[in-house]
Structure 1
Amino acid sequence: MSGWQVADVVAVREETTTARTIRLRLPASVRFLAGQHVDVRLTAPDGYQAVRSYSVSGSAPPDGLEITVEELPDGEVSPYLVRDLAVGDQLELRGPVGGWFVWRPEDASPVQLIAGGSGVVPLMAMVRAHEAAAHPAPFRLLYSVRSPEAVFYRDELAQLVERSETFEVTYVYTRKAPDGEPAGRLDKGTLARHVLDGGADPAVFICGATGFVEAVSGWLLDLGHAPDRIKTERYGGIGGAS
C-alpha cells in the first residue's frame, strides 16, 4: 500500500484501561509482514495535521488490519485514538512500512521475543503469524510489564500457550505481581533463565523503551548470542507512539 488511504474503523477492543486495539478495513486488500508498522494521519478542522506510527498487531481478513495503541497523557494523537475514536469513523493510513524488524514464516529458526510494555505490539503480530502458519519452530515470548492489569492480549496469549506445543510466554512484573510471585525489573539473571540459549542460534526480536532495549541487547551478547541475530525496535515507530 503506497500513499495515503482512508480506512474504516470496524471494531475497537479494550486491552487495558489505557490501551485499545483498533480494527481497520481498507479499500484494497493489504498484505503486511509481522513487525511492520503503519503511519496514521489526523487532520484538525483548521488544517493542522499530526502523523504518528503504530505497529500492526495483526491481520483482519479479508481486507484489513489491526493496530494497538497505548494512550500517552501528553500525546497529540493517542488520547483521541484510545478515548474518542468510534466504529464508523475513518482514519488516513499509509503503509505498511519496514522490512528489517520483521518475521517471515519461511525462516525455520527458533525465535525469542522480548517485550517491554507496549513493545509487545509488533511481537504479537509475529506470534499470530507463527500460529497461523502452524510453524514448527519454538517461539518464546519474555514479556516485561508493570502489572497483570497492564498486560496486552492476556486471554489470547493464554489460549495460544494452552493449545500450542511450540509457543511459551514468561511474564516479568516490574511493579505488581500476582499473589505468590515476586515483582522487580528484568535483570540479566532472569533473562538468562527464560530465553532460548544462544547455542540454539535463535532469531531474537526486542521491542520496548530505549533503556530496556539497550540493556537486554547487552545481556544477550554477554550470554553468547550472536550480534547479527538480534534485531531491535525502540518506542517511536510502534504502539507506544504519541
Structure 2
Amino acid sequence: MSNPVSPNADMVGKAVPSVVFPFRENDQWVTASSDDLFAGKTVVLFSLPGAFTPTCSSAHLPRYNELAGTFAKNGVDSIICMSVNDTFVMNAWKEDQEAENITVIPDGNGEFTAGMGMLVDKGEIGFGKRSWRYSMLVKNGIIEKMFVEPDVPGDPFEVSDADTMLNYINPNAAKPSSVAMITKPGCPHCSRAKTLLSEHGIAYEEIVLGKDATSVSVKAISGNATVPQIFFDGKNIGGSDDLAAFLTNQK
C-alpha cells in the first residue's frame, strides 16, 4: 500500500496533533491527551501497522525496549509506541513482549495518525485503516525529526528502528550488550549469575528450562549441558564462575 507522503517532512517543526486517547489502565478507563504525553518532555515515538504483527514484534518494539536505558541517558524522557489498535490489544501485546520500558498508546480511531498524515488503507489484507511505519523525536510537543519508511510495497522497515533514532540523537552513544541467560528453577548458580548481572546494571533476557527451552536446547546452543549459560552479543561466556571472571576483566 502506498505511503501518503514522500516523506512527511511537512510535519517537522510543527506541533503534534492534539488528541485525547482513551485507554485501559488497572482495569479502569482513563484518558491521556497529547499535552499529557508530550508537553515539557523529550519523547521518542514510533508508530507501526499493528500489534502482534511479525516485524513489529520481532524487531521494532523489542529494540526500542532494549535501548530505553540508553535513550534515557541521552535526554529522552519517554518512548511511546503507537498503533491504530484498541487498548486491549495494545496492553496484551505489551505484556506478551515484556516491554516494560515502553508506553503503548492505542490510536484506536486513527485521529493522531490521520493528523500526522500517516493513515493508510490496508484493506487489501483485512486491516482497514492503519498507520504507516515511522518514528519521530518530539521536544515539548514540537516535532524535531522524523524517520518515515520509504514508499515501497509491503511493510518496509529500514529507517524507523531504534538504532537509527539513537544515532540521530547521539552518534557516539554507548549501546548495551545483548545479554541472555539460560537458567532452571531452584538453581543456586543461576541465582548467583542473576545477582552478578544486576549488581553490574546489566539487563538480560532469561530463558527458563522447562518453560522456554529444554536441556537439549542448552546443549545444542552452548555445547554444554549445565546451567546457567550466559551469552553476551552472541558469545557464550559460560556459567556463573565464568561470568564473574568476565565481568572482572571488563573493568
State TM-score, norm by structure 1: 0.24
- Higher Rg of the two aligned structures: 2
Tell me the TM-score normalized by structure 2. Answer: 0.24
Q: Which structure's residues are more often helix, by fraction? A: 2
